[in-house]
Structure 1
Amino acid sequence: MGNITKRGSRDLAADSTMLLEGSLATALHTKLYEAIIKEDCNTIKTLLRNHPVNQPLTILANSSSYRLLNQTQPIFPIHLAAEYRKPQSLLCLLQHGADPEVRDAQGLTTLHLMLLNWPITSTMWTKPSTRIQKILTDIQNNAVLCLRILCDHGAQVNAQVDNSNKHSPLHLAIAYGTYPVLSFLAQNGAQVNALNESSMTPLHMAADILNKNMIETLIACGANVNCAISSTGNTALKLAVCTASSKAGRLLAAGVGCIRLLLNHGAQVNAQDHEGQTALHEACFGGREVIINLLLEFEANVNILTRNGESPIYMYLQRSSNIRDVTLLARLLYRTYPLRLSNKQGVLPAGIMLPEFHLLRETLIKLSKKPLTLEAICKRNIRNVYGDKYKFHLKQLLPAKLWESIYGVDDFTYLLK
């Protein structure tokens, strides 16, 4: 029993020592944490003598620190300074050997965490006048300053997140709406055409969410507007048209400026994805008139077929809501030749198979079987090649009667009613 008592005493003494050491470590971590938040660089320097700069901090839930009380993961000092946008603390830590590339449990570097915690504030005022405006301006300025400090101290602007997305900093900036940093990252060596795990560039992501400012900035920084996603063949233009043609895009009247911007900077309007679809196929399926007209203005070809033999007008006729817009349907017919109503399997579009469109279906089938004269085919080809964009330029070059015969409207509308 005496031996047991002695051994128990030794265990208690060891436990007491460990508790004391743990309490000291906790106190040290808490003080360093608070010094970083307060940007007390003198205290940071003193505490780093006893705490390695690249060793994480662990803050107890009942600590009086500024961290949220549900903090469960240790945090590196440099990550703390970056997340809370403390430029003086960040600089002090870097000067004392902090590694900007150290990663947290989610595979994020200091730069990644900065972008994920970038302040989403509106600073449209030229000079802050109210207290809240001054606070928001200071927050934004501190974020920019921290970003500059990181880049000046060797932060890798092309380091991918170590997770399933493999986003680069530019991808993260797009995903989290940190538009102001795009130019800065590109100027500091970020690869504007970098690919993530899905083979998407930052421009693909910006086009997919119809963010015109981001698209414009990326193009100015050298983004390739015709880069295609390897798995699908989709370009930025196709993605933008898809989003703009969706129900949400229609309700919000979104995307026209983005699509025009891409087209004005050389996006290939007739580029086909792996299924053979073009942006016009997508727009016709969506049935949004302003998008279809915009693509036609930039010489979209209405006669390109998908791998399954489907034309843009086939896609348009898939949906009953499209078919009810007789004027737009007539405009597409005006440009289409030959009129292919079925795909390679001989299947007609689902929309015109509805009973309410029985007469229209019969009319279209007759039109598809009615051959045009060689003169009519030539006129239609001229209209498709030059489109509305050069319509009036041709008017200056051609005799008046010839021009009128080419651009005289073949009115299909009466046939479709």
Structure 2
Amino acid sequence: MGNIPRKGSRDLVVDSAMSLEDGPSAALHSKLYEAIMREDCTTIETESIIPIHLAAKYHKAQSLLCLLQHGADPEVRDTTGLTTLNLMLLHWPVTSTTWAKPGNRMHRILTDIQNNAITCLRILCAHGAQVNAQGESNKRSPLHLAIAYGCYPVLSILAQNGADVNAINEASMTPLHMAANMLNKEMMETLIACGANVNCAVSSTGNTPLKLAVCTASSKAGRLLGAGVSCIHLLLTHGAKVNAQDYKGQTAIHEACFGGREAIINLLLDFEANVNILTRNGESPIYMYLQRSFNVRDTALLARLLDHTYPLRMTNNQGILPAGIMLPEFRLLRDTLIKQSRKPLSLQGICKRNIRNIYGEKYKQHLKQLLPVAIWNSVYCCYDLANLLKQDLPASQQQGLSATQTAFSG
């Protein structure tokens, strides 16, 4: 038993007892003592205490160091299959000093709590703790636990001591997948700096960190909080493949279009997202955009997507139209878009769209300096979809439409 003190190590026992004599550990010792005296085997089995686990759980650095120096095994597991390192991360102090005034008593207490935990982690790593050991009931590595429990300070320490930043858990997710899904930019930055693969795909779904970040940022909560754009930009600037497809054939722009969040769609377009990729079910990004009625009402964003789309495909493989434009209020728009989807673009129109798709908004102004004004205006022109709608209206209704027409820009 690696946690039984060696002969002559009486100081170890004294040190451990003094370090753990107060707080919850005292109650645990008392409960175990009473169970032993009563010969209550059931309690002894379920409440068994391993000294090194107590030291790690309550971040007692001196006791932890003393135990390790006297032969305690950092890899001994508790009844749930957790190692000392696992337990430390599960009980990592979630403290923030940002709200406390620097230098005051509360700020010092919070700082000391964090520093004690970090010191214990460094001691464990220095004494051979397995930083890649996974739980017996799941495949979560210490890095996965650190992400799940918000232990931001430990990521770089674990990585410096050999933790595999691309390890997968029971869901085949890497730590970066988890951090991206949570939109935790600090963790993402640390993992990427430590060598995390930004294009690793989840084996069961094909999701990349970029797709997960876009999904979370495009959700209702993401929209309300305005969160996630910086996380997406971080991934893109570090080489995330913007047009990577999951097992359904969806890309990040499909997810972004379904969510309808303009900032994310524009960002992906700036990084050359392809709006003409189809899913396995034949759905284009603009098809996903038109699935939701509140997206359809954002006519400016719809126009931008239309200006990058060719051919315009209004149905999926089953011939079903997007649900969002099936409302009666969108009848005219629906009929017009269907009509346009059946009308092939001119060669000139195709060339213009290709130029916009290849160069995107990023090089729009650069092209303006290179191309003649007439040609640039032709490529990046503005057209009015309301004029298309007018063609399907009686003359008596065209004037009313003009009063509310909306310009669709490229």
- Coarse TM-score class (shorter-chain normalised): 0.7 to 0.9
Q: What residue is the counterpart of 1:92 in the other structure? A: 66
Alignment of 1:289-300 (within 5 A): 289-300=262-273
Partners of 2:16 and 2:326 in 1: CA distance? 69
Specify every segment of 5 or more residues in structure 1 that has no aligned partner in the other structure, as ranges. Answer: 1-29, 40-56, 64-69
Report the aligned-residue RMSD: 2.2
Q: What residue is the counterpart of 2:81 in the other structure? A: 107
- CA gap 1:408/1:123 in 2 versus in 1, 3 angstroms: same
Q: Select the residue among 133, 139, 142 that pairs with 1:169.
A: 142
Deviation, 1:395, is: 2.0
The alignment's TM-score, normalised by the length of structure 2, stands at: 0.84
Are 1:129 and 2:103 matched, yes or no?
Answer: yes
- CA gap 1:346/1:93 in 2 versus in 1, 3 angstroms: same
Q: Select the residue among 17, 27, 35 that pairs with 2:18.
A: 35
Q: What residue is the counterpart of 1:389 in the other structure? A: 362
Partners of 1:37 and 1:352 in 2: CA distance? 66
Partners of 2:313 and 2:175 in 1: CA distance? 37
Which amino acid letter does the alignment assign opposite residue 280 of structure 2?
Answer: R
Partners of 1:31 and 1:95 in 2: CA distance? 15
- Percent identity, aligned pairs only? 73
Q: What residue is the counterpart of 1:60 in the other structure? A: 31
Q: What residue is the counterpart of 1:374 in the other structure? A: 347
- CA gap 1:31/1:148 in 2 versus in 1, 3 angstroms: closer
Q: Does the 8 A contact of 1:281 with 1:311 survive in 2?
A: yes
Deviation, 1:336, is: 0.6
Which amino acid letter does the alignment assign opposite residue 35 of structure 1?
Answer: M
SS in 1 for 2:319: coil
Deviations 1:201-248 (A, max 9, x none): 000000000001011111111111011011100000000000000011
SS in 1 for 2:31: coil
Which amino acid letter does the alignment assign opposite residue 208 of structure 1?
Answer: N
Q: Does the 8 A contact of 2:100 with 2:107 survive in 1?
A: no
Alignment of 1:216-227 (within 5 A): 216-227=189-200
Q: What residue is the counterpart of 2:335 in the other structure? A: 362
Q: Does the 8 A contact of 2:97 with 2:110 survive in 1?
A: yes
Q: What residue is the counterpart of 1:265 in the other structure? A: 238
- CA gap 1:247/1:126 in 2 versus in 1, 3 angstroms: closer
The alignment's TM-score, normalised by the length of structure 1, stands at: 0.83
Alignment of 1:11-410 (within 5 A): 34-38=17-21, 59-60=30-31, 73-124=47-98, 129-164=103-138, 166-410=139-383
Deviation, 1:409, is: 2.2
Q: What residue is the counterpart of 1:3 in the other structure? A: none
Q: Does the 8 A contact of 1:36 with 1:86 survive in 2?
A: yes
Specify every segment of 5 or more residues in structure 2 that has no aligned partner in the other structure, as ranges. Answer: 1-12, 23-27, 35-42, 390-404, 406-410
Deviation, 1:361, is: 1.0
SS in 2 for 1:360: helix
Larger Rg: 1
SS in 2 for 1:299: coil
Q: Does the 8 A contact of 2:249 with 2:280 survive in 1?
A: yes
Deviation, 1:333, is: 0.8
Q: Does the 8 A contact of 2:275 with 2:284 survive in 1?
A: yes
Q: Does the 8 A contact of 2:68 with 2:127 survive in 1?
A: yes
Q: What residue is the counterpart of 2:392 in the other structure? A: none
